[in-house]
Structure 1
Amino acid sequence: MPLQADLQRAMADAVRRALEEDLGPGDVTSTWTLPPDQRARGTFVAKEGGVIAGLLVAREVFRQLDEAVVLTFWVEDGTSVAPGTAVATVEGPAIPILSGERTALNFLQRMSGIATATRRYVEAVAGTGAVILDTRKTAPGLRALDKWAVRLGGGQNHRQGLYDMVLIKDNHIAAAGGIAQAVERVRARNRAGLPVEVEVKTLAELDEVLALEPPVDRIMLDNMDLPTMREAVRRTAGRIPLEASGGVNLERVRAIAETGVDYISVGALTHSVRALDISLELEPWAP
Structure 2
Amino acid sequence: IDEATELFEAAGADVSPLAKDGDRIRAGSRVMSVSGPLAGIITCRRTALGFLSRMTAVATETSEAVGKADGVPVTSYDASTPGFGDFERKAVAIGGGIMRSGALDSCILIRKEHARACGSLRNALSRLDRAPFFLKKEAEAGDEDEARAIAEAGVDIVLIRGKDADAAKRIADAARSVSPGISVEVSCGKDEASAYRGIADIVSIDGLIADAGFTPFRIEML
Structure 1 length as normaliser, TM-score?
A: 0.71
Q: Is residue 107 of structure 1 aligned with residue 51 of structure 2?
A: yes
Following TM superposition, by how much is the alpha carbon of 1:259 offset from its aligned partner in structure 2, in angstroms?
5.2
Closer/same/farther in 2, CA of residues 136 and 252 from structure 1, 3 Å limit: closer
Q: Which structure 2 residues correspond to residues 1-287 of structure 1 after superposition, within 5 A?
A: 55-64=1-10, 66-67=11-12, 69-127=13-71, 130-187=72-129, 189-210=130-151, 212-213=152-153, 215-237=154-176, 238-245=180-187, 248-255=188-195, 257-258=196-197, 260-283=199-222
Which 10-residue stretch deviates more, 236-245 or 85-94? 236-245
Q: Specify the SS of the correspondent of 2:134.
A: coil
Q: Specify the SS of the correspondent of 1:270.
A: coil
Closer/same/farther in 2, CA of residues 258 and 179 from structure 1, 3 Å limit: same
Gaps of 5+ in 1: 1-54
Gaps of 5+ in 2: none
Give CA deviations for 1:254-284 in whole Å, capped at 9, x if unaligned: 22x335211111231211212122222111x
Misfit runs of 4+, over 4 Å = none
Identity %: 25
Larger radius of gyration: 1
Closer/same/farther in 2, CA of residues 126 and 274 from structure 1, 3 Å limit: same
Could you tell me how far apart the structure 2 residues matched to 1:253 and 1:223 are?
Answer: 12
Question: Is the CA contact (8 Å cut-off) linking 1:119 and 1:155 kept in structure 2?
Answer: yes
Closer/same/farther in 2, CA of residues 274 and 249 from structure 1, 3 Å limit: same
Closer/same/farther in 2, CA of residues 192 and 235 from structure 1, 3 Å limit: closer
RMSD of aligned alpha carbons:
1.8
